[in-house]
Amino acid sequence: MIIKTIREKNPLIHHITNYVTVNDCANVTIAMGASAAMADFYEEQADFAKISSALVLNTGTINQSIANSMLKAIREYALINKPIILDPVALGVSRARDEINFNLLDLQGIKIIKANASEMASVIGLDGKARGVDSTFVINDDFLIQAQKYATKTKRILAITGKIDYIISAEKIAKIYNGSAMAAKITGAGCMCASMCGVFSGVLEDKFQASLYALLSFDIASEIAQESSSGSGSFRVNLLDALSNLSDTDIEKRAKYEII
C-alpha cells in the first residue's frame, strides 16, 4: 500500500533541478500525492533539509553556482540522514559537467543514482559514449557486474532507465519490462523518474524497494497514458492524469519485473 501511504503522508520532496523540466518534476511529485519544493538558493539549504523528506538533485542545466548549492544541500541532508537522489544528466558530455557530478558523487549521502545507461556507465567508470541527454549505450553482462561492484562499494542503489529498466543494489538486480516508447518522445521523462524515486524514498526506508516502485509506477502510468494519446502533447497530459489516478492496485495488476 505504498502509493496510499504517499497520498496520506504527503512527504515534501525538495528538488534542485534544471529549468527545462522543473515544472514537470513538480507536477509529477504533486500528482503522486507528495509536495514539491524547488529551491536552489545556497542560503536556505539547511532550512529545507529540516522540513523535507527527500532531496532530488538533477544536473541538467548545471553551473558552478547551482553546483555549490547542491554540495551544501548534500552535506545538510547527510548530516540528518535524509535520502538524496542524484540524476547526473548528460554525464560524460563535457569535462566541466563531469567534474561537477563527480564532486557531488564524492560526498556521502547520495542513496540512489537515477540515470540512463550512458550516464550510468560514466558513473561506474566505463565509457558511456554520451551524446547529450540521450543514451546510446547498450547494457551487457560486464556492465551489470561493474554496476553491482559500484553499488556494493558505495552502498548506493543504481536505477537505470531505458527500454528495460534496471534497479541494482549490492545484493540484487531488478529488471522492469513495463513502460512506453512515447516517454522518450517528450523531454523530461528521466527527470520525472528521479522525482518518482524521491517521492517513494520519502516514505520507504529500503531504497531498492523505493526505486523499484518509483520506476514501476512511472512505467505503468506511461502505459496507461499511451493508450489514449495521439502524439507527444497528449501523452504528456495523459501521463500526469495517469499518475494522479494511479493506485497500488494498478501496480499489482500490471507490474512486469523480475529480480535476478
Binding residues for substrate: 38, 188
Query: 246, 199 in Cβ contact below 8 A?
Result: no
Stretch that binds a copy of itself, among 59-67, 147-155, 173-181, 209-217 (CB under 8 A): 59-67
| Residue whose grid cell is 545484493 | 171
Look at residues 53, 101, 44, 58 and name the one whose alpha carbon lies nearest to residue 191: 58
Q: Of residues 164, 187, 209, 257, which one binds a copy of itself by CB under 8 A?
A: 187
| φ, ψ at 202 (rounded to 5°) | -70, -20
Contact letters for a copy of itself, residues 76-115 (x by CB under 8 A) = --------------x--xxxxx------------------
Query: 134, 128 in Cβ contact below 8 A?
Result: no
212 near a copy of itself (CB under 8 A): no
**Number of neighbouring beta carbons within 10 Å of residue 132:** 10
Stretch that binds a copy of itself, among 43-51, 147-155, 169-177, 205-213 (CB under 8 A): 43-51
Look at residues 166, 168, 170 and name the one whose alpha carbon lies nearest to residue 179: 166
Q: Of residues 9, 41, 106, 138, which one binds a copy of itself by CB under 8 A?
A: 41
- What's the CA gap between 108 and 80, in Å, rounded? 12
Stretch that binds a copy of itself, among 22-30, 145-153, 164-172, 252-260 (CB under 8 A): 22-30
CB of 40 to a copy of itself, least distance (A): 6
Q: Of residues 108, 152, 232, 247, which one binds a copy of itself by CB under 8 A?
A: 232
Could you tell me the end-to-end alpha-carbon distance of the chain, in angstroms, rounded to an integer?
Answer: 24
Q: Binding-site residue total for a copy of itself (CB under 8 A)?
A: 61
Binding site members for ATP? 114, 161
CB of 13 to a copy of itself, least distance (A): 9
68 near a copy of itself (CB under 8 A): no
129 near a copy of itself (CB under 8 A): no
CB of 47 to a copy of itself, least distance (A): 4
75 near a copy of itself (CB under 8 A): no
Query: 243, 32 in Cβ contact below 8 A?
Result: yes
- What's the CA gap between 202 and 53, in Å, rounded? 5
Write down how long the chain is: 260
**Number of neighbouring beta carbons within 10 Å of residue 259:** 11
Query: 222, 182 in Cβ contact below 8 A?
Result: yes
- The residue ranges that bind a copy of itself (CB under 8 A) are 12, 14, 18-24, 26-27, 30-31, 35-44, 47-48, 51-52, 60-64, 90, 93-97, 131-134, 185-188, 230-234, 236-245
